[in-house]
Amino acid sequence: MLSGKYRYTHIFGLCLVWQRTAARDSYDFIVVGGGASGLTLATRLSEEPNFSILVLEAGDDHINDTKTQCPGIFASMYGDHEYDWDYRNVPQPYLNNRTHANIAGKGLGGGSAVNFMWWTHPSRKDIDNWGALGNANWSWVEVQPYLKKSEAYLPPASTEAIQDMQTQYVEPDLHGTCGPIVNSFPTSYGPFTEAWAETFERLGLHPSGDPRGGEALGGFTNPFNINPQTKERSYPATEYHLHAADRPNLKVFTGAFVTKILIEESQAVGTAASPRAVGVEYVKSNFTHTAQASAEVILSAGSMQSSKLLELSGVGDCGLLSSFGIECLVNNTNVGDNFQNHLMLPLGWAVVPSVTTTDDFASTEAFNAALEEYTLSRSGPFTNVNGSSALLSLEQIGGSYNEIEPSPVQPRYEAQHKLLLDGLNSTKTSAVQQIFISGGISPWYYNDSTKVFAGPGDGGNYFTIIGIVSHPFSRGSVHIQSADPSQQARLDPRYLSHPVDRQIERQLAFHMRDLVQNPPVSGLLEGKGTVFQPGYLDGGVLGEDDVDAFVAEKMLIAYHHSGNNAMLPRDSGGVVDPRLRVYGVEGLRIVDASVFPMLPQGTITSIVIAVAERAADFVKEEHWHAPE
């Protein structure tokens, strides 16, 4: 509490005066972060009328914002600090010592408000691996109901669309149909969408079943989080929160930056009782506020913020905390470690004349015309996202890790690495993901995400494949670098520090190079897939001698930050237990991607929401009491 005094801090580049603290508010549950996890969790908790819930989101409410609504302009939010935290990592030795822009959604919906809208799922092995690491009751069988609970699957609109996009692989029973988040196939699509599925089929890589089942691999047309009726993004801010916003037991504050979890040491005498989280301190409209939680504080602030808040509040490595003058309440050196993320390796080609791509809207005039059409009538090219996926095994891309010494660079992750190596031998979990974008991107702007997806702007039309190693071996960290809550945590992902990652990236680059030289995709590209977008391979060659330099030079960063508050046994690197409760602190839980012990394949929105759905059940089970 501040007794008539003032404090100063810098948040988002502004000098703010923390004015006299307002009166305390009290709730049963305080959810820190209104992203995909936080809104899902809070909405489900508010179904219990006896619970009172406060959600604190540092960003703003963009629900009625065209940038979040309109599928075709999602990239316009990148690098804009109204929508994107725009985190920076420390220089990475295996990426030419570069500091990259790390996109992270800011505002209601978090990452789900700014992402590509691709709707993919973890493999069965991904979730079973979580259980194998010592997390009781975590398996595909136990998580699958929550994946289904969150989704509202819509099939292609016509028989013709099914044939064009080759979605015969879909097994409807695997998909949820009554959940909040809509996932649907494009209602309009271009020649690349049709050619993608057919090319993989001709190569014998059409999926043998529905990837939604957690085992089938291959190249397929991807569903998206787009509502075909409204032509708008479908995400937790609109599909969970909006339907619960008027409940009297739920409050959501935006522009509320949480600076500390309030943790009280046990007052019990002669016992080993743990300290307890009793509330939070936050800044809103230049005032500091304190809110109390009678039941739990739940961190859903995302990987970059959740570890930072733990450490600022006295939970973490005591040596690190004491170096910044922070009292250490719980010594857990695992906090902030085990960080994982996907990397994106793009490669672009020139498109034959007359094929439309997103590059046709690079000029201000064309962009504004398409946006006006969308705004006025919810029609036109911006109603969809053109792209598709492939989930492929190492064998399917012609790869091998036999020549690599499999012992881990970081021995503390040996159990994880063993499971990952087993996965590389599997034909039921992917080693890589490939997605295509109908348009060019510019990876040379790796530190300026306002330009990466804006298109080359050189008057050409391009086609891009982005390759992703599904299960990276490299592990990094997220730690505070001062006691100032407004300073970004130090992000050291240690990208490509493990040799297996580097080897798979090489094989992935070669597979992308060769894939597009197969029909029918090759027929849509200049020189049958041998003419690259300027800036990628200006010498026209990608061979053994230059592939490592290409990987380091062109790599981009995905926004699947995870793992650094891992759900693991404490003596195996854990920060939370299998019910997501923080070790050593009563009344404190973490529900976001930072608890994932191992990063799953594909985009992670589906599993982020599913884990939040399950966490809501955990909380209800532990705190629900029958009315007297």
Q: What angle do CA 402, 407, 409 make, to 5 degrees?
A: 120
**Alpha-carbon span 163 to 159, nearest angstrom:** 6
Domain boundary assignment for the chain: 66-243+339-616
- Judged against a pLDDT cut of 50, whether residue 330 lies above it is answered with yes
The answer for residues whose C-beta is within 8 angstroms of residue 34's C-beta and 6 or more apart is: 42, 55, 56, 57, 59, 107, 108, 109, 110, 237, 241, 252, 254, 300
Cα 579 to chain centroid distance, Å, stands at: 21
Read off the amino acid at residue 11.
Answer: I
In this structure, which amino acid lies at residue 478?
Answer: V
Mean pLDDT of the chain: 93
- Which residues are within 8 A (CB) of 422 and not within 5 positions of it... i.e. 6 or more apart? none
In this structure, what token pair is assigned to residue 95?
Answer: 């990426």
- pLDDT, position 376: 98
How confident is the model over 74-79, as a mean pLDDT? Answer: 97
Average of per-residue pLDDT across 112-129: 98
Q: What is the pLDDT of residue 17?
A: 38
Compute the average pLDDT of residues 473-488.
98
pLDDT digit string (tens) for 369-379?
999 999 999 99
* pLDDT of residue 19 exceeding 80: no
- Taking residues 212-241, what's their average pLDDT? 97
- 269 — pLDDT class (breaks 50, 70, 90): low
Which of 61-75, 152-166, 338-352, 391-405 is predicted with the least confidence, judged by mean pLDDT? Answer: 391-405
Distance in Å from the first CA to the final CA of the chain: 36
Q: How confident is the model at residue 145 (pLDDT cuts 50, 70, 90)?
A: very high
pLDDT (tens digit per residue) in 270-304:
556 899 999 999 999 999 999 999 999 999 999 99
| CA separation for the pair 119, 183 (Å, rounded) | 7
Which value, in Å, is the radius of gyration of the alpha carbons in the chain? Answer: 24
175, pLDDT greater than 60? yes
The pLDDT value recorded for residue 241 is 98
Q: Which of 419, 417, 358 is nearest to 384 (CA)?
A: 358
Backbone angles phi, psi at 280, to 5 degrees: -140, 160
* Residue 76 scores a pLDDT above 50: yes
DSSP state of 241: I
Cβ-in-10-Å burial (0-12, 13-18, 19+) of 354 comes to exposed
Per-residue pLDDT tens digits for 146-172: 999 999 999 998 999 999 999 999 999
Contacts of 369 by beta carbon, 8 Å cutoff, 6+ apart: none
Q: Does pLDDT of 626 surpass 70?
A: no
Coil, strand or helix at 225: coil
Cβ-count burial 389-413 (b if 16+ within 10 Å, e if not)? bbbbbbebbebebeeeeeebbbeeb
258 is in an annotated binding site: yes
Tokens of 30: 């305080």
Alpha helices in 105-181 (DSSP H): 124-132, 140-149, 159-165
- Cα dihedral sign for 154, 440, 542, 520? positive
What's the rounded Cα separation, in Å, for the pair 431 and 420? 9
Count how many Cα atoms sit within 13 Å of the Cα of residue 525 in the half-sphere of its side chain.
30
Residue 492 contacts residue 89 (beta carbons within 8 Å): yes
Assign 454 a pLDDT band (cuts: 50, 70, 90). Answer: confident
pLDDT for 406: 56
Q: Name the CATH topology of 66-243+339-616.
A: Glucose Oxidase; domain 3 (3.30.560)
Range 357-363 average pLDDT: 94
pLDDT of residue 1: 28
Contact at 8 Å (CB) between 34 and 252?
yes
Q: Which of 39-48, 105-114, 135-144, 419-428 has the lowest mean pLDDT?
A: 419-428
